[in-house]
Structure 1
């Protein structure tokens, strides 16, 4: 017979948070701590507890001497590890993110704390030498108004906040590494969040030239579980002072955090696709506010959300003067909408490569410099239609869009189910002739190879990403976001198929288009060095005008004004509720929405949005939108969070997905 367990002598009760994702169980529970567990069962450690007869993971939140539970308490089954992996600061951040996004703390904790790797955790960490202070050259920040004051504030460990507008051609990894080194040498920790692995590698390389390798840690999803946990533990134990990572690294437990940096906050990959769908920018700003630490958002372009931070006074501008900007920016040309321009090149507005773009490319190649061609779509021919009636070619099995994978492909392939269609015939008119609706990067490379027979054609996109190209006559065809860096800069850039970006039915279409164009244009040489950017779009379009003037701040200001007029984020908060119509109506009926809330809809899910998990394929899905003023966001999230808990406890409705300020509203 097993001897009776003895409760711990001091604070025998642990308040724990089980990792249960159902909303109505997102609360703390009290458990007894055995005497032999008392030393290890401290706040922040992982434990296992019995919950309704099954063993579940949990975190200890606090130790107590009493409980408000009237019944009999269960025992903590096991202390998984004595390592305190949930720090006080990260726990506060988890609570704030769950409240901001109407989610459960368990879902946020899965993003914040990686799975345990026992072997790594048991290894004795190496003893590092004391950090030696070294001078950091920050002269490049003098090119920005307020740049030197920002660096001085970091040296003095003050909580300066800024939105940095990087100059075209600027080495952003070098600039971020410089301010990180200044902060680390001042005795504080630094966290940098970037969109993808390519950016992590660039910033990590720049950081190693200014800080010791054992003080810099790169976190990303591509690491194996053991290596990722080893690096995360180095951050937790205070060994790493500069942490670089993708979106989930925004929760990294950096000790004594002094500076939080975010690069290119308009990139879609910074929005978490898992519940509760937080955006790394908002999490970073919440964390900076809680810790009263410095923060900086940087990019070649600017989002309306970043501009809202500047307008509110929470952050300051770090921008260069117009004189400095003109010295760094390339010359940008677009299609003119005038009688003279039409007479000079009548086909310019209908041609995919008008004369103005071809001339810019030929001039750059003649100087033996590479030419960048940005194409919005990858692949060969991503979309087909009937050549006679223009109906979109669709799969007979799943109605997905058909594409042509290559020049020598025997038939079209469905982009949804992957089935091959060898004999195409239009379902509407019966014609067997097809035409390309959209031309992809590989087909564009073929066309340019014929247009410039003496130049090498390089393709970057999909699984074949090229990091850099040498300084020679070459045509580089790339999809947005994976443009190779050219030694000495590109002589010219051609921005094709602008309609595919600007014509999207999306709130952020113009903002995202300018961001992609500026990222590519920033790789081009300055006007003084002959750099030219040719955008195949009418110059009268406001987004094109912003590129020509290189004025992302003005574009963001106008974007923010237009959203304020119609009550869209970030001027207001908006919740998107997706699910079966009956379930969505039940949730809204149970929610005590704040006064002044506008309920809009139902509407269809935006193009590309996934169906909520757990809903049968034959059940229709609708979206309802709830809009509140800017100061009512937390109240709206709390109301929806409570209603979701009530609906979850009743088990009488299909699951509903709640997203606060989703990236794509429609």
Structure 2
């Protein structure tokens, strides 16, 4: 008989006592990681933090990190995003989740980290950035079975990048999976969608992702077509607001579920949840459409730089022109420049001629006088039309005659009822009308000198098209701008009148471009006026065929101005260096970091009083913006930018905690600084 403990023979196994029942009305929490940390959809600065909620056992499988849920907050049901699940909460009695809206993990961990970084940089709230990053849910689309992942494309040829000394090296780095940053200066006439498509597909061929952000849906369409030609339709996704809610959410889900690696879109695409991105691209970073008009007003270029810092992807800042911000990236060595040799640029560029407003070369024939352009511009247009090519005419303002002054004393013409500006809206056969209240002013009399005569300050695109149509009676005239923007124009003689940013692409290139009323762009009271004028001119001039093929550009501006010289020589790098040097000397962005605080006078003063201003900070202002609102600018060195953003955020938290009623608008590094 084996040895046996006699006491063991009489040992009775007593079962463990049952767990105490859950309090009445409270469900059982999940067995593992029962606490969910969430961001609630409440746009108040002092609530910009994670809150703990218990996960009911019945929701355990669905309440995954990144899922949309609904929680009870301050007595109301609000939406929220789960960031993570943990073992325990620091709070004694957290509430339970009310509902899992969808088990789809729409918020990837890397995108959550990016949104947090963007909110911190721009003194904003996390939930505001999440609204920019994650599209609204579409339940029917979410229930659809996901398509098969797109196959890995082959690496494309890089012959187009051979024109740029550092082009091939950049592509080799992307192909090898190394972090490569660059500022690319596209040559005039460059097929930039094809070049960017080669970069994106190169990254995809190496098993990594690519995000390409462009200003508008027309650029999205061109770039999507170029990428699809290299990698196939199924390997590329386009994200833009014009798709509609269902199509956009379907495309976005394909990216989130790992079905595609190349994403093209407008500014919200900067947050696209591409797995393992290898390259992040922004085209034409000076376009104001890259700056979001919703809080916290982030700029695409800075969002992509933050994303690269967090994830190790490369950044390519590209365009025909160059902003001071991009030049600073290049000068600092963070993003080396990719620029073609000067002899190649001269061959590719059209011939540019500048004609000042008071130039001696005025029109000598009746048609030229009618159309308000000098004879050199008329000659260029006639030559292009004779060669069978269209002519691009860029006009800074849309409409007919958007602004009028007194003919005698040049005082701006104002409405008697509301003091709004007067203009000609429909045509020359209609009386002037107010652009604010639409009241007709057929009996206008100047309040300064009593004159009844009016003079056009600037002529709009519609009036210009009418005048050119009379001057070139046998040539079709097309307009592009406002709600009627053309994507392309066919080959053949035509006059294409457009506003800046609405230039359609000609199938075989334009024979000439007439850039009218340059003074209107350069005279804007804006820190970026000359930079923006050059960017708009270069965007139009880049569509013209080279000088060797007869391409000519006539710009109506003083040839002595640096921006005009940069266009004539096609040297945006030189102009960007001048801009950056001037801003370094005067202390303006990007040499420094600045914030704009706008609101009622008392509210602005109160915020400044409690602001923990960095020791090296400086307050400029206040200056009146309207009768009831004013604005101050806060300037700090770049090294103190994060400190300033944090101080502004803390001041905003204090205001919302006290339930201040007067709204304050805080923007960090706004484009319209002055």
- What TM-score bracket applies, with the shorter chain setting the length? over 0.9
Separation in 1, partners of 2:370, 2:413: 23
1:615 alignment partner in structure 2: none
* Structure 2 counterparts to residues 175-254 of structure 1, below 5 A: 175-254=195-274
- Report if the CA contact (8 A) 1:335-1:349 is conserved: no
Post-superposition offset of 1:445: 1.2
Separation in 1, partners of 2:24, 2:437: 58
- Report if the CA contact (8 A) 2:357-2:557 is conserved: no
Post-superposition offset of 1:482: 1.2
Whether 2:182 is the aligned partner of 1:156: answer no
- Which stretch shows the higher mean deviation, 579-588 or 413-422? 413-422
- Report if the CA contact (8 A) 1:184-1:190 is conserved: yes
Separation in 2, partners of 1:429, 1:124: 73
2:144 alignment partner in structure 1: 123
Post-superposition offset of 1:409: 5.3
| Superposed CA offset, 1:451-475 (max 9, x none) | 2233222221122222222332222
Separation in 2, partners of 1:216, 1:304: 32
1:284 alignment partner in structure 2: 304
Separation in 2, partners of 1:193, 1:344: 43
1:79 pairs with one of 91, 100, 107: 100
- Report if the CA contact (8 A) 2:362-2:374 is conserved: no
Whether 2:15 is the aligned partner of 1:7: answer no
* Structure 2 counterparts to residues 549-628 of structure 1, below 5 A: 549-605=569-625, 620-628=628-636
- Which stretch shows the higher mean deviation, 155-164 or 327-336? 327-336
Whether 2:83 is the aligned partner of 1:39: answer no
Separation in 1, partners of 2:170, 2:95: 53
Separation in 2, partners of 1:254, 1:413: 51
Change beyond 3 A, Cα 1:349–1:545 = farther
Post-superposition offset of 1:126: 2.2
Whether 2:43 is the aligned partner of 1:21: answer yes
Separation in 2, partners of 1:112, 1:131: 26
Post-superposition offset of 1:38: 1.4
Change beyond 3 A, Cα 1:77–1:662 = same
2:122 alignment partner in structure 1: 101
Separation in 1, partners of 2:135, 2:458: 41
Secondary structure, counterpart of 1:327 in structure 2: helix
1:355 pairs with one of 342, 364, 375: 375
Separation in 2, partners of 1:350, 1:511: 31
- Report if the CA contact (8 A) 2:519-2:556 is conserved: no
Number of equivalent positions: 650
| Superposed CA offset, 1:561-591 (max 9, x none) | 1001111111100000000111111111111
Secondary structure, counterpart of 1:62 in structure 2: strand
| Superposed CA offset, 1:538-577 (max 9, x none) | 2111110000110001111110110011111111000000
2:639 alignment partner in structure 1: 631
2:434 pairs with one of 383, 404, 414: 414
| Superposed CA offset, 1:572-614 (max 9, x none) | 0000000011111111111111111001100233xxxxx8xxx
Separation in 1, partners of 2:499, 2:660: 46
Whether 2:74 is the aligned partner of 1:59: answer no
| Superposed CA offset, 1:45-104 (max 9, x none) | 11111111100111112212222224x321111111111111111011011001000000
Larger radius of gyration: 2
Separation in 2, partners of 1:158, 1:410: 63
* Structure 2 counterparts to residues 459-478 of structure 1, below 5 A: 459-478=479-498
- Report if the CA contact (8 A) 2:356-2:556 is conserved: no
- Report if the CA contact (8 A) 2:212-2:265 is conserved: yes
Normalised to the residue count of structure 1, the TM-score between the two structures is 0.94
Whether 2:554 is the aligned partner of 1:546: answer no
Note the residue ranges of structure 1 that are not aligned, 5 or more in a row: 606-610, 612-618
Separation in 1, partners of 2:361, 2:628: 53
* Structure 2 counterparts to residues 325-404 of structure 1, below 5 A: 325-335=345-355, 342=360, 352-404=372-424
- Which stretch shows the higher mean deviation, 464-473 or 285-294? 464-473
- Report if the CA contact (8 A) 1:583-1:653 is conserved: no
Post-superposition offset of 1:432: 3.6
Separation in 1, partners of 2:269, 2:362: 53
* Structure 2 counterparts to residues 313-332 of structure 1, below 5 A: 313-332=333-352
Separation in 2, partners of 1:332, 1:43: 57
Separation in 2, partners of 1:417, 1:561: 44
- Report if the CA contact (8 A) 2:361-2:376 is conserved: no
- Report if the CA contact (8 A) 1:190-1:243 is conserved: yes
Change beyond 3 A, Cα 1:83–1:336 = closer
- Report if the CA contact (8 A) 2:371-2:464 is conserved: no
Separation in 1, partners of 2:429, 2:47: 53
Change beyond 3 A, Cα 1:425–1:160 = same
Whether 2:648 is the aligned partner of 1:640: answer yes
Post-superposition offset of 1:388: 3.5
Normalised to the residue count of structure 2, the TM-score between the two structures is 0.93
Secondary structure, counterpart of 2:231 in structure 1: coil
Separation in 2, partners of 1:82, 1:566: 53
1:608 alignment partner in structure 2: none
* Structure 2 counterparts to residues 525-544 of structure 1, below 5 A: 525-544=545-564
Secondary structure, counterpart of 1:538 in structure 2: coil
2:657 alignment partner in structure 1: 649
2:669 alignment partner in structure 1: 661
Separation in 1, partners of 2:660, 2:286: 39
1:50 alignment partner in structure 2: 72
Secondary structure, counterpart of 1:145 in structure 2: coil
Secondary structure, counterpart of 1:642 in structure 2: helix
| Superposed CA offset, 1:125-157 (max 9, x none) | 1224x6144241210100012001111111111
* Structure 2 counterparts to residues 250-269 of structure 1, below 5 A: 250-269=270-289
Whether 2:531 is the aligned partner of 1:511: answer yes
| Superposed CA offset, 1:100-133 (max 9, x none) | 00000011111011111111111111224x6144
Secondary structure, counterpart of 1:633 in structure 2: helix
Post-superposition offset of 1:419: 4.2
- Report if the CA contact (8 A) 2:153-2:231 is conserved: no
- Report if the CA contact (8 A) 2:370-2:471 is conserved: no
